[in-house]
Structures are given as structure tokens and as C-alpha cells.
Amino acid sequence: MAAMGLALLVMILYSGLIEGYLEGMERNVLDLEVGDLQIFAQEYRVDPSIYTKIDDPQTLLDRLDEAGFDAASRLLTFGLVAADEASSGASFRGVNVARDALVSDISNQLDRGHWLDPGEPKGVVIGRRLARTLDVDIGGELLALTQDSDGSMAYELFEVRGVLLGISDSIDRSGIFMVQESFRELITMPEGAHQIIVRRPGDLDLPSLLQKVEGLAFGLDVKTWRQLMPTIASMLDAGRGAMVMMGIIIYMAVAILILNAMLMAVFERIQELGVLKAIGFGPLSLFGLILIESGVQTFFAIIIGLAFGIPGILYLASAGIDMGMLAGTSIMGVAMDPIWRAAVHTRVFTTPIIMLVTIVFLAILYPAGKAALIRPSEAMRHS
């Protein structure tokens, strides 16, 4: 019982922490940059160009609104940015401030300063590494240079309004966010959008979202976040697979212990089991007796594991583990939260319990079969 209870406790805490880690990484990908799904003009992802755009984004956004999806358009281009004597490559992103808040949490990821305000069209928010490269801070001036829609050079002065926390490598190094009106003035593009980010309701799975949006965005390139970032998607799947494998390894060790303990319990009681068989207990009755004993032990082991596991996982979910050394680091371009928090949902408890019960049942089959096949005459003479 102690071994089973300890194994269950370890697996609850382990499952909660791994699920929290994987969900946190997925949440960072979806909430801060990619969304659940993105829409582009055909060939834009192959050859990004300011001329390859969605011609009538507002009509599509209205359709998505009617279908119950949160969506926002963005304008994208590349160029240079300079401050004093420093310069760097930059990726400019024009956002609709009101709509973007529906699909992205990036407005809440500021290290200092404020997010974009349509009332201050010359204010921009930049990545933290870019701010360090250019040696600028809040209130500093930036000169943005890029290509105009007519092919000429476009340039404009902007003021740094905010500096972001670590989001991703690309945003940290070169990201510059500005309101769409300023972006359109910069490159002289009064219409169109390069990207539309879509978020799904909580009760809709990703394949269903893709199918529905493809029907609304006919002729456009529609991709889920898993298609846009297959390496991260594979890593998350592998992480969940590794969690199951770890559970199997831990419970296999518990199964060996249970097998040994129940075999000892059978051999120590061979004479008593022989008497039971002699007075009328059949093989199935003895088999069931051993199963019931194991079931009772497993039940109390589950109670013990949950009694310690529930408070433990709740603490790890609220306080978390301070991994301060991870601050500012990223995995595959995705920023890591320095506070590692566990996830708390039904699967964190049910999966370890189901695995424990399954392993115990398999481990007990041999001792129970041994007891069922005991011959009364031989068992009562056993010493």
C-alpha cells in the first residue's frame, strides 16, 4: 500500500508538472504570437511580399465574427531601424489595437512602458533585445526604413512607447509593433492585410476549426498553428508520450513489488487456502478472494496518494517552482516562463489512477491463479 500510494503521488505531481510545462509552452505559442489558425494570401508564406495580400480582409473578418470566431488582421513587412549611430534589421507589424486584444495577449507582456494607443499613432512597441541593440528606451526616437508599395524608399520617425518582455527570438531581436494606420501611411498601402489570426472557442477542436475557416476563406492559404510550427507541435506530442512512458516505468517497478508481496501472501497461507478449498471454495472463489484483497489495498493506496497529491498539485499550480535561471531563455524560439506551474485538471488524476489499477490487476493475476490451482491435499500437508 505504501509503495502504491507513493507511486501514485509521484505520478500525480509528475503529470501535473509536465502537463503544466507543455500547456505553458503551447499557451505562449498560441496567445502571444501565432493564434490557433492563420490565414494568408496564396504564396505569401513561400515568398513574403507587401504586394501579396488579402485584398478584402474586412469582409472575411465579418464572416468570421458571424461564425463566432475571434479574429484580427495584421500587416507585415521587413526593413531597417536606426537610433543615433546604431541600426538593426526589423520586422514591422501593424495591428488593429482593439481586435488584436481578442486574439493575442502580447499587449500584457510589457517589460516597461505602455502598449499601442491609436491616439498616439507615432508610438511603437519593440522587442527587448532590439531595444538593447539600439540602446533606446521609453521616449527614444527610431527611424524606420522600408520599401514603399510603389517600390521607393519609405521612412518615418517613431517614438518608443513600450518594450516587451521575452516573447520569442524573432520578436525579441527585431519586432516592432505599430498601429495599422501608421503602418499603412509608412508603406502607402490603404487596403489589404498580410495575415489574419483566428482563435477558436474552447469547445471546438483544431481540425473542425480548420474545416470551417477554409469554407469561409475560400481561395486563401489557411494553416493551423501545428502546420505553421510542426517542430514545436512534435515536441509537445513527444513530451506527452514521454510522460506516459515514465508512468509505465514507475508502475512496472510497483508491479514487481506487488507480485512479490502477493506471492509471499499466497505461499504463507497455503495451508489456510487448502482448508478453504477442502470445505467447498472453488478455484474462482479463491481467485476472487486474492483479487478482493488486492482491490482493498489498492483502494487505500489511492486514498493515501490523493490525500498527499491533491494539496501538493494545488500548491505547485498556485506557487509553482521558481526556475529563475530560465528567465530570458527560450526553447525552439518560444520564451520560457521562469515560474514552472503545474496543471490541474481531471486527466492529471485519472490517468495515474487508471494506470495504477491496470498494473496492479496484471501483477496480481499470477498469484491469484496460483492460489486458485492449489490442491487441498497437498496444501494442508505443506510445511
Q: Residues 183, 118: one domain?
A: yes
Identify whether 79 is part of a domain: yes
Q: Of 82-86, 118-122, 336-340, which gets the smallest average pLDDT?
A: 336-340
Q: Report the phi/psi class of residue 140: left, alpha or beta, with left for phi > 0 and alpha for psi in -120 to 50.
A: beta
How many independent structural domains does the chain possess?
Answer: 2
Q: Residues 240, 314: one domain?
A: yes
Q: Residues 162, 273: one domain?
A: no
- Give the whole-angstrom CA distance, residue 6 versus residue 304: 8
Check if the beta carbon of residue 348 is closer than 8 Å to that of residue 13. no
Query: Comparing C-alpha atoms, which of 352, 371, 346, 364 is closest to residue 297?
Result: 364
Beta bridge partners of 94: 75, 178
Q: Residues 22, 41: one domain?
A: no
pLDDT digits (tens, 9 = 90+) for 187-200: 888 888 999 999 98
Confidence of residue 161 (pLDDT cuts 50, 70, 90): very high
pLDDT of residue 328: 52
Identify whether 62 is part of a domain: yes
Question: Judging by beta carbons within 10 Å of its beta carbon (0-12, 13-18, 19+), is residue 173 exposed, middle or buried?
Answer: middle
pLDDT digits (tens, 9 = 90+) for 150-159: 888 888 999 9
For the chain, count helices (H), then strands (E): 13, 14
Taken in order 145, 120, 173, 189, the sign of the CA dihedral is negative
- Record the pTM: 0.76
Identify whether 220 is part of a domain: no
**Residue bearing cell 479463491:** 286
Helix axis angle for 283-318 and 346-372, nearest 10°, is: 160
Confidence of residue 337 (pLDDT cuts 50, 70, 90): low
Identify whether 204 is part of a domain: no
Rg of the chain over Cα atoms, rounded to whole angstroms, equals 30
What is the pLDDT of the chain when averaged over all its residues? 86
Query: Comparing C-alpha atoms, which of 11, 25, 17, 15 is closest to residue 233?
Result: 25
Query: What's the half-sphere exposure (Cβ side, CA atoms, 13 Å) at 182?
Result: 26
Q: Residues 236, 194: one domain?
A: no
Q: Residues 18, 46: one domain?
A: no
Is the pLDDT assigned to residue 342 strictly greater than 80? Answer: yes
Cell of 141: 526616437
pLDDT of residue 379: 67
H or E element at residue 189: none
Q: Residues 81, 101: one domain?
A: yes
Q: Residues 44, 124: one domain?
A: yes
Domain with 45, as residue range(s), is 37-199
Average the pLDDT over 351-380 and give the result. Answer: 81
SS3 content of the chain, % helix, strand, coil (to 5): 55, 20, 25
Q: Residues 287, 361: one domain?
A: yes
* Domain boundary residue, one of 158, 175, 199: 199
Confidence of residue 37 (pLDDT cuts 50, 70, 90): very high
pLDDT of residue 334: 62
Q: Residues 18, 138: one domain?
A: no
- Give the whole-angstrom CA distance, residue 98 versus residue 107: 11
pLDDT digits (tens, 9 = 90+) for 230-266: 888 888 888 778 877 887 887 788 778 777 777 777 7
Identify whether 6 is part of a domain: yes
Average the pLDDT over 160-181 and give the result. Answer: 89
Query: What distance separates the 2 farthest-apart alpha carbons in the chain?
Result: 103
Identify whether 32 is part of a domain: no
Identify whether 107 is part of a domain: yes
Q: Residues 149, 283: one domain?
A: no
**Residue bearing cell 501608421:** 182
Q: Residues 188, 45: one domain?
A: yes
Q: Of 5-9, 43-47, 127-131, 372-376, which gets the smallest average pLDDT?
A: 372-376
pLDDT of residue 120: 92
Identify whether 267 is part of a domain: yes
Query: What's the half-sphere exposure (Cβ side, CA atoms, 13 Å) at 344?
Result: 13
**Residue bearing cell 501579396:** 52
Average the pLDDT over 55-69 and give the result. Answer: 91
* Domain boundary residue, one of 151, 175, 199: 199
- Give the whole-angstrom CA distance, residue 382 versus residue 270: 7
Indicate the SS3 state at residue 139. coil
Look up residue 107 and give its DSSP letter.
G
Average the pLDDT over 87-115 and give the result. Answer: 91
